[in-house]
Each structure stands twice: as C-alpha cells, then as structure tokens.
Amino acid sequence: MPSTPDATIGTLPDPRLEDRIAPEPAAHGAAVQAVFNDAGRDLAVYSAVHQLWYEVVGDRDQEPGIVAEVNHEALPWLEAPTSSREWVVKLTSSRWKAGTGTGDDYSAYYKYDLTLRERDDDGDLHKTGQACSLRVIPQFDDLNYKDGSSLTLQYGEGSLVRCSTTWADTADEIEGRMLDILELVLDVDRGRLLEDRDADSRRLTKAEAHHRFDIGWKRQVIEVMDQTRDLIAFGGMSEIEAHQYRLREGYLEALLDADRWHLLGFERTSYDIELKCYQNAGWTEIPREDPAHHPKLEASFAGVDGDGALPHVDEWDEVMSVLRSVVSAHLDWADVGREELIADDFQPGSASPEYRYRHPNGRREQLRERYEAVGTEIHREALKANTQAVYDILRVVATESGASYDTLEERTGLARSTIRYHVSRLAEIGVCEKVSNPVLVVFPSLAVLEEAEEILRRIYPDDQVDDMMDRAEERRERREERDDPSSVGNQEESDDQEDDAGDRDRGRNSEWAYFEDLRLEVHQLANALDRGYLDGDEVRVRTDRRDWVE
C-alpha cells in the first residue's frame, strides 16, 4: 500500500532573510489557560462553578442558565451591546473525560462553560464578533479515567480554567478577561485568584493573526499557499496536512497545517502553524461592498506534537511575530498590497499600522528547484520503456487541468487498476496529487501544469489526439480478447503488456486476501481509505453474517 513519504525528490536552496515593512496583521482569536491550586480552600473555583450550576440551572434540560448580567462600562475591554440588548454570562455543562470509580460504578465529572452573550428583550441569546468564554475543569487527585487509569495533574491539584476570546492584543489582556469573568460570576477576590494561580501553568492554547483582502486576489493567494505546501513537503521530514477544494475556476479555499515552516525561512518553532484562506458562509450572496464578502488569510498556532509543552504566556510576542510574518510574507508573494486590504468592524484593513518583520527571500529559487525536479520526474515517467500508458495519463491530466478516474479510463483505455497504480506512484514522488472525493488527479500547481504541458509536447511532438484515441481503443480490445476464453491472443505480444496491471511484474489478475492474513493494522486500513490510497471498490466486507452491516 502506498504511503506518504517523509521526503520527495530533493532539497531546497537555503532562503535569505531581510527586514520588511508591512501592514500589521490583526490579532484575532486567542486563548490561554491556568491552573489555580485551590483544592485546599473551602470552595475551589471548580467547586464554586459546580455549585452555581445547581443553584441557577439544576437540570441539563434547562440549560443554558444566566448567571450574571454585565455592565460593559465596568469592563474596559467590552464594547457597548447592540441596541435593545444587554450583556450576560450563560452557564452550560458537558461530561468530562475523567471522574471517579470504575466500570458500572464509574461517575464522570462535568466541565462547565461560562460564555459571554448578548440577550434581547425576548430573552434570546446572540453571538457577536466580540467573544469571551471560560471553560472550568476539575484537577483533583482522586480523579481517574473510566478504565481506572489515573488522571495526570501536570500543574497540581485545583481548577483548570481556559479563557478563549477575540481581539486581544496581549496575553495580559486575555488573562485579565479571565479574572474579570471569574470575579463577576463567583464574587471571588482577585488577589486570591492571583495567589492560587500556578505560574508555570499559564500557557497559550490558541493564537491567530490575519488580514482580510479583496476577493480579486483570492486565486493568487491560494496558489501561493499551494506552492508553500509543495516546498515544505519537498524539503522533507514534514508533518503536513492540506485540505483543498477545487472548482472549475481553481482553488476555492485552502488550509495548510505543517511543522517545518523554517524550511522557507520562517523562525523554527516547537509548535505547528496552520495557514488558511477562508470566507463567510454564503459569501456569494453578500454584496461586494460588505467586508464579509471578502476572504481572510489567517495564520494560527496549531498546537504541539506529542508531549511537547504549550508556549508560556510570556512567549506571546514571539508567537504572534511568527504568525504575522507568515501572513505578511504570503500576501507579499501573492502581490497583495496595502490597498487590497479590507477593513471591517474589528480591524482597519488598509489603515493598519506598519510593523517590521523578517521576510524570507529566495522563494523564486526554491520554486525553480522544486519544479525542475518535478519536471525531470515527469520527463522520466512519460518515457517509460515499452509503454505509453504513463504518458497518456499525464497528457489527459494536463489537457483537462485535472482528471477523474472515469475520465482517465475513458480517454486512455487503461484498466481502472492500472490507472490507480500509476497515479499512486506519481503522487508518491510528487509529480501529481489526488484531491477531493471522488478522486481528482491534478498537478501540484499551475506552474507544474504548464511545465508538464511543455514537456509532453516535446516528448512526442507528432502525437495527435486521434493517436491517443487509437491507443485507447486498442487497449480496450486487447482486454476484451483476454477476457474471452475463445481468444487465442497472447498478452506477451503486446508492446503495452503492462497496461492492465501497472508494471511488467504486475501483469496478472486481481488478487484478494483476508484482512487477518495481511500485515496491516485496522487504523492503517482506515487511513488508507480516508486518504485515497485505497478506493472503496478495493475493499470487501462480508455482510451475510452480521445484521448490523448494511
């Protein structure tokens, strides 16, 4: 079964860095956490919220409960509510992963959410662009998981509180909002909270920086993100995930999550960074004059791998510096200037203040190295000995700017198994990609597409559409003859003898095996299906013995 390689076909030239001045990306969503070592007090923060839930709510079917009305004038960071509304704090609960007891005697603890909302005259609650919520989680020695294993308390006993909010420029602001809400809801002394707070537990769990830009530059931004993904993967040893959606016009939106951004010249970090381009739901129905019609480019701290520690709140400036530089560099590479930035209710767009950042140069050289290496592979694959199968697959993908398996089967005359085999090989070495579901086979970028078109023209300059159609028909006829018992044709006489199996050593009928006989774990099979390494018609499930299998 094919697997995603740690590295593809080469290494990148080292980038060069220079100082640049650019509009500063706005800080957007952010979150911090802290543990209050208050288990020895008469009422810990968690216990106080738990008791408040019983006093105000008492029944999960009655959620949410309103535990406080908020005077925005008392909180400098909170703007006035919408006309005819007021700020309130709602309280909800949900089961947590730990509790007490085991088996049938297991009893889960609950976590509680305190969330800022606007309430209208009818009592309905409304979410707004200004958000703040607290999640309160127990941290007690006697807690365990349902299987009986103990809960690890990284920062000691007490109450874990996570505060998520928007439009905060410093970690101090976020921590201040956490303390404000706790004081307001629990009537607890701020000095006591600061005394109980474990200094090392103050960690960042979320940070974001973004610019909103004119929709006319969306395709260029997506193309730059696509190139970045290719370069990071090309540089090797990257944990990378990319989700992309294609329409006829090109990419609609994209998300890239990776841990090797330093390959492009950004600061090396101990955490993943996610870069995404996105728009409001239903943006096509929103007038162009409305900022919500236009997309955002946003970089965010995307967590740490394994047992790595989250960044401390004291590292806020360093984290935001890296995120802002990723946004600014990608907008620069896409030629999105200050005049293309769009203001909205929460950030000034083209009026954003200037800031200085370290801009990675040498991207053009990196891309050239990448595309030259891919071009070499395209040339080598298209000239495969004894067959024009791969050439025909590549030619259809280039001509159609992306082709489904159905299209490839129709245009090349190759068997579906042959096409899957070659496409999987080509994807492994970085020549093409499989995106969406059903699978669409594409080249990694528009630049590679253009390079492939030129290479394929040079390889067989006299090859016409009719020639490929003739080869497709011949392949179908040979396959029909092999399936006909009365046929005396000999597959070995064909100069495309491997077309129905991939390579010469695969020239055989389909082979199947029981799952229990394979050196394959369940999660590997699931992953292969999810990522498109295996297609649905390559896996069989027996249904006559199990009523629940439909």
Span 297-311, pLDDT tens digits? 999 987 786 667 899
Pick out the chain residues at pLDDT < 50. Answer: 1-9, 246-252, 488-508
CB 375 within 8 A of CB 398: no
Cα–Cα dist 510/58, whole Å: 62
pTM: 0.70
Written as six digits, the tokens of 449 are 């597409």
Cα–Cα dist 14/263, whole Å: 8
Cα–Cα dist 209/206, whole Å: 11
Written as six digits, the tokens of 172 are 């101090």
Cα–Cα dist 465/400, whole Å: 13
Give one DSSP letter per residue of 237-286, joined into a string. S--EEEEEEEETTEEEEEEEEES-GGGGTSPP-SEEEEEEEE--TTGGGS
CB 279 within 8 A of CB 239: no
Written as six digits, the tokens of 178 are 């956490």
CB 370 within 8 A of CB 445: no
- The 3-class SS string of 173-209 reads HHHHHHHHHHHHHHCCCHHHHHHHECHHHCEEEEEEE
Reported as type and span, the H/E element at residue 405 is: helix 405-412
- Chain center to CA of 261: 15
CB 84 within 8 A of CB 123: no
The three-point CA angle 442-281-177 to 5° equals 115
By the 10 Å C-beta count (0-12 exposed, 13-18 middle, 19+ buried), 151 is classed as middle
The domains of the chain, with CATH numbers, are 38-197 (no CATH), 367-506 (1.10.10.10), 514-550 (no CATH)
Cα–Cα dist 288/269, whole Å: 38
Reported as type and span, the H/E element at residue 141 is: none
Of 224, 115, 243, which Cα lies nearest the Cα of 178? 115
- Chain center to CA of 360: 23
Cα–Cα dist 422/2, whole Å: 11
Of 12, 450, 9, 7, which Cα lies nearest the Cα of 231? 12
CB 22 within 8 A of CB 357: yes
Predicted pLDDT at 549: 63
- The 3-class SS string of 407-418 reads HHHHHHCCCHHH
By the 10 Å C-beta count (0-12 exposed, 13-18 middle, 19+ buried), 127 is classed as exposed
Cα–Cα dist 460/270, whole Å: 49
Span 494-515, pLDDT tens digits? 434 444 433 333 334 556 777 7
Question: With the CA atoms of 462, 467, 472 and 478 taken in that order, what torsion angle do they form, in degrees rounded to the nearest 10?
Answer: -110
CB 258 within 8 A of CB 273: yes
- E strand spans, 345-429: 354-361, 403-404
Per the omega criterion (within 30 degrees of 0), is the bond before 438 cis? Answer: yes
Predicted pLDDT at 46: 96
- The 3-class SS string of 205-231 reads EEEEEEEEECHHHHHHHHHHHHHHHHH
Q: Which residues contact 533 (CB under 8 A, 6 or more apart)?
A: 1, 2, 3, 424, 527
Helix (H, G, I), strand (E, B) or coil at 143: coil
Backbone angles phi, psi at 61, to 5 degrees: -70, -15
Of 419, 429, 428, which Cα lies nearest the Cα of 506? 419
